[in-house]
Amino acid sequence: MNNKWTGLKFLSPWLAGIVIFILFPMLFAAYISLTDWPILGKAEFIGFQNYVDIFKDELFWQSLKVTVKFAALAVPLGILTAFSMAFLLNSKIKFVSFYRTIYYMPAVVSGVAVAVIWKWILNPNYGIANGVLGFVGIQGPNWLGDPNYVLPSYLLIAIWGAGGGILTYLVGLKDISTSLYEAAEIDGAGFWGKLFKVTIPLMTPIFYYNLIMGTIAAFRKFTDAYIIGGAGREGDFFMVHLYNNAFTYYRMGYATALAWILFVILLGLTLFINYTSKKWMHEG
């Protein structure tokens, strides 16, 4: 009995943190999503009316469409880019530590600073991107104003920031035993054979982790989208739409309902990835 109470005493700070900072905010958010709360006024209980209004709102569906389209392209491209860079940085080349630092740097730079820099780079009038294209005789597009180039611009930014996932891939690559590559060489496997028969199968747990984290990050895209200005005429990203309802239109109950819908979407996608991973993830 004494050991039990001693254990509970040690757990009490953690349990208190769970209740105060996770459980209570979730329950309070669930209640707020059922109210009409203009933040500065009194919250009026309206039941599930916010959810009914959301599913009738064209801006909700448009923001969800833009976010899904972005995530469907940015997540696989980000995984491919980060893995490719990690694969190259795992080679025995000169100045490899310097290259690793350079490629990982986007992960430690402030999101606001990144957004401001890219807004300048992609400026159609004096941005460096169109300046380089003009130097070789190509008329640069209106990256952030033309609906045909807005999402590709955000994809470019996402790929540039894919270096944040390099560390996990490097750890996974370092963990693969050289004896496996030697055995593959004895069996006659060349570069591509070792890549697809040894490296990629053993890296699938890392792919699984980054797929889930990348999907969550893509659906929660906000900082650069807000600073740069949404997705043009295609509509806002989901999180920008949520933010506008909360702090521009002062519809906190409606915005909280949007947050719960996002939670359900991400929970469903995570469970789906987890279920399908049994068919492609190597377990060893």
Encode pLDDT of 87-137 as tens digits: 988 887 777 788 878 887 877 887 888 889 998 998 888 889 899 888 888
Q: What pLDDT is attached to residue 247?
A: 93
Angle, nearest 10°, between helix axes 96-104 and 166-174? 140
Q: What pLDDT is attached to residue 232?
A: 54
**Which residue, 119, 78, 111, is CA-closest to 230?**
119
Q: What is the mean pLDDT of residues 227-255?
A: 85
Q: What pLDDT is attached to residue 146?
A: 78
Asked if the model's pLDDT at residue 77 lies above 80, the reply is yes
Residue with tokens 């005789």: 137
Residue environment code for 188-205, b if the CB has 16+ CB neighbours within 10 A, otherwise e: ebeeeebeeebbeebbbb
The answer, as to whether pTM is greater than 0.85, is yes
Q: What pLDDT is attached to residue 126?
A: 85
Q: What pLDDT is attached to residue 1?
A: 55
Q: What pLDDT is attached to residue 103?
A: 80
As a whole number, the mean pLDDT across the chain is: 89
Amino acid (1-letter code) at residue 21: F
Angle, nearest 10°, between helix axes 58-89 and 166-174? 40
Tokens in use for 54? 């959301």
- In terms of average pLDDT, the best of 12-21, 88-97, 104-113, 160-169 is 12-21
**Which residue, 136, 131, 155, 270, is CA-closest to 224?**
155
Q: What pLDDT is attached to residue 161?
A: 84
pLDDT digits (tens, 9 = 90+) for 254-280: 999 999 999 999 999 999 999 999 899
Asked whether 79 and 210 are in contact (CB, 8 A), the reply is: yes
Domains and CATH numbers, the chain: 53-280 (1.10.3720.10)
Asked if the model's pLDDT at residue 233 lies above 80, the reply is no
